[in-house]
Structure 1
Amino acid sequence: MCAEVRTDVNMKPYREALALPGLRSLLLVAVLARVPLTATGVTLTFYVVEDLGRGYGAAGLVGAAITVGAAIGGPLLGRLVDRRGLRPVLVLTAVAEAVFWSTAPMLPYPLLLPAAFLAGSLALPIFSVIRQSIAAMVPVERRRPAYALDSMSVELSFMVGPALATASVTAISARTTLYLVGAGIVAAGVGLWLLNPPVRGAGEPVATRRRVPRREWLTPRLLAVLAVSTACTLVLGGTDVAVIAVLRESGEVGWTGVVLAMWAVASLVGGFAYGAVRRSFSPLALMAALSLCTIPVGLGGSHWWLLCLALIPAGALCAPTIAATSDAVSRLAPPEARGEAMGLHGSAITVGIAVGAPLAGAVIDAHAPLWGFAVTGAIGVVVALLVLPVELRHRRTAAILTAGPPEPALTPVP
């Protein structure tokens, strides 16, 4: 009986959020739409290495070109959503994606690099649009479970997308998989166009050409949240590479999929718990805890099952940290600039992953695999310490505003 009541209490925030009109369909489309996007990196790597006969460094440059393009284009596309609405941006990016993925298998490597950069700058903004729509559809007090569901759906997409791409390349070919991935991305754009989720709440102003000055909303606290987002994914990107390096050194590289799957499952469980609780957690505190839990992972031993156990605490904090940063950005950005703010958030996440993986790789090459965990985790802690004064200043200001002005002193009546 007690267990029954406890389960009901834990599920209540999710039931309340999913009861909101349109959220179920949005999250379902989000999972399906993100699968082909998460398969792009693996597919392009296989294509450059196998079909073009280039090395992994050349493949990494193509991935970097897309990443840099996405980091630059994300905020610009978000601003366009703010000013023109969602559907025109979806048409523009879906057409750009169709052109790139249909021509990429025919391009020589020197042309593939600039084409990848352009494709990244006009990439379908699924991640930022979904988060912007959640902010528009869900009241502030119910966004925590909604963003937790969104973070869990991202984990599911990353578990499915690369695996499907690898299976397709193995069964068919990398060139054909490029066409399939492109078709999936275009289909995702069409599906989102048909769904046409709102990017403004019912009581918020509709898309307008009026531009809200950045100085009004790009505050030190929002910049701090973006820094936390970058540090979080830097730690995650570094962990991804360090796991492979540890298992390769111990001769257990065949267990890589199992270890990464366990890491993802821990993230799903942590994301579920985060959305179920009523208490609010600071993105800074979650990122700091994630970083601290990552530092000693390499000391857990080189056996795959010890690595699985060592990754559980850090893994359980992945989805909650991403969800908390998304929630914070949605609260701090005004509706008129929320698309651009979510684009900046997406860019921050992208930059973190892009920096974390090669940074960990360089550290591992120079020292040992366990230092990949330690260095990236330590960087996360340093960012947390740098951002801490901004958070403390905000809390002091909030406490003063909550307390209100001091009561006037009573003067004696003569």
Structure 2
Amino acid sequence: MRTLLTRYRTALRSPGMARVITAAFAAYLLSGMMSLSLLLTAERTTGSYATAGLVAGAYAAALAFAAPAWGRLVDRRGPRTPLALAVALQAVAVSTVVFAANSGTPALLVAAAGLAGACSPPTSTIASRVMAGVPDEAVQRTLFALSGFITECVFVVGPLVVAALVLLFHPLWAVGLAAVASAAGALLLRGSTAVRRLEEETARTAAGGSSGWNAAQVRVLTVVALGAFAIGGVQVSIVAHAQGSGSSEGVFVALVATGGVVASFLYGGLSLPGSLPAQLAACLGLYGLLILALAFEPGLLVSAALLLLIGAATGPADGIEAMLIGKCTPPAAQARAFAVLVTANWIGFALGSAVGGALVERASLAAGVVATGLAALAAAALALFSRVPTGPTSAAAR
């Protein structure tokens, strides 16, 4: 434990990294709160679950497809201008959401939610870009693991904060708090010394940036999309399994999140054997096999153990995927690559949720689980047999 904590202390003492991680945590609350807050706002104001689903979907889709544009802007102009612009636009977008909710017009609320998604500050993209520039690979791995850890934590804490605010106030308060946290994180990041150094690095490298994609990037993004497909599908399967066994859906989902939190933290502090692609393949392969075990619909205790292990298996994957995409991308195009990583995750998750839900409803729980598990195994195979660079590619943010 002492060695593990020492690794984290060393990583956070890298110039500017403590502020970057703090800013990222504040900004990540947006992801953990906004979609649920918008869904509850829409349901409360329109009385329609269908409209609520459209509102949440519009936000997620707009965020996913706008992220590469923000990343491209960061690569060309540096990080500080896009952060300031996004904070200003997000304030306008959230004000539009408030107006639309008070008007009770479903179409306007859907459009406002889409605008809010499109104006989400590229904080995670820029934080990843800064971390990818750390020259010490061990420190870089610890930082990405810490980023994954706080992301997992936010998706546990965020819904609880939303639930408390909805219990006491209107869901719009949760929308506002998510926006404030996002803006605070973006502005904190904008003022960090690490981001200022990245601004200087961008000025030197932007002119020579390549706009094309290489084969290694495409392979990593395909692995990411397949892995996210499995995550989306397994969440639907978990809910169906909980209902079928008379257990709590919330407890089952929380078990997966808990496993992810613990594994993400441990990964950053341990020295594991094998290359990054091999480590990712091991995570996704174990994930797929554990998911397939759910097809047998085991009892409560076995299910609980499996769900903890499922979360633990996928916990380190986000950090490994981010490191891999950074290593296959030239410094001048890394912000866009990290943004597309976000898009690949959202698209894969949405497709996995849709396919998994359809299979569970129209066929059986086993069919949904098998399809999800096979997607994870396919991602593991592609990761294992991909030739992805493992050496550093950037000297940015030294």
TM range (shorter): 0.7 to 0.9
Q: Alpha-carbon deviation of 1:365?
A: 0.8
Distance in 1, matches of 2:165 and 2:79, equals 32
Distance in 2, matches of 1:173 and 1:14, equals 39
Unaligned runs of 5+ in 2: 392-398
Q: State the percentage of identical aligned residues.
A: 26
Question: Matches of residues 15-414 of structure 1 in structure 2 within 5 Å?
Answer: 15-55=9-49, 57-107=50-100, 108-137=105-134, 139-195=136-192, 197-198=194-195, 204=201, 206=203, 209-210=206-207, 212-215=209-212, 218-252=213-247, 255-278=248-271, 279=273, 280-282=275-277, 283-301=280-298, 303=300, 305-385=301-381, 389-391=385-387
Q: Alpha-carbon deviation of 1:14?
A: 2.6
Aligned residues of 2:78 and 2:202 also touching (Cα < 8 A): no
- Bigger mean CA offset, 36-45 vs 368-377: 368-377
Distance in 1, matches of 2:201 and 2:182, equals 30
State which structure, 1 or 2, has the greater radius of gyration over its C-alpha atoms. 1
What letter matches 2:217 in structure 1?
L
Q: Alpha-carbon deviation of 1:385?
A: 3.9
Distance in 2, matches of 1:10 and 1:162, equals 29
Distance in 2, matches of 1:125 and 1:363, equals 35
- Bigger mean CA offset, 335-344 vs 200-209: 200-209
- Bigger mean CA offset, 219-228 vs 376-385: 376-385
Aligned residues of 1:67 and 1:351 also touching (Cα < 8 A): no
State the TM-score, normalizing by the size of structure 2. Answer: 0.87
CA RMSD of aligned residues (A): 2.6
SS of residue in 1 equivalent to 2:15: coil
Distance in 2, matches of 1:209 and 1:39, equals 34
CA 1:251–1:23 in structure 2 vs 1: closer, same or farther (change >3 Å)?
same
Aligned residues of 2:76 and 2:202 also touching (Cα < 8 A): no
Aligned residues of 1:82 and 1:337 also touching (Cα < 8 A): yes
- Bigger mean CA offset, 134-143 vs 74-83: 134-143
Distance in 2, matches of 1:95 and 1:311, equals 41
State the TM-score, normalizing by the size of structure 1. Answer: 0.84
Q: Alpha-carbon deviation of 1:189?
A: 2.7
What letter matches 1:126 in structure 2?
T
Aligned residues of 1:288 and 1:381 also touching (Cα < 8 A): yes
SS of residue in 1 equivalent to 2:195: coil
Distance in 2, matches of 1:289 and 1:281, equals 15
Aligned residues of 2:26 and 2:181 also touching (Cα < 8 A): no
Unaligned runs of 5+ in 1: 1-6, 399-414
Q: Alpha-carbon deviation of 1:346?
A: 1.2
Q: Alpha-carbon deviation of 1:208?
A: 5.3
Q: Alpha-carbon deviation of 1:51?
A: 1.5
Distance in 1, matches of 2:171 and 2:2, equals 47
CA 1:373–1:130 in structure 2 vs 1: closer, same or farther (change >3 Å)?
farther
Distance in 2, matches of 1:89 and 1:69, equals 17
CA 1:243–1:119 in structure 2 vs 1: closer, same or farther (change >3 Å)?
same
Tell me the alpha carbon deviations over residues 345-376 of structure 1, each in whole angstroms, 9 at most, x when there is no partner. Answer: 11111112222222211111112334333211
- Bigger mean CA offset, 113-122 vs 67-76: 113-122
What letter matches 1:142 in structure 2?
V
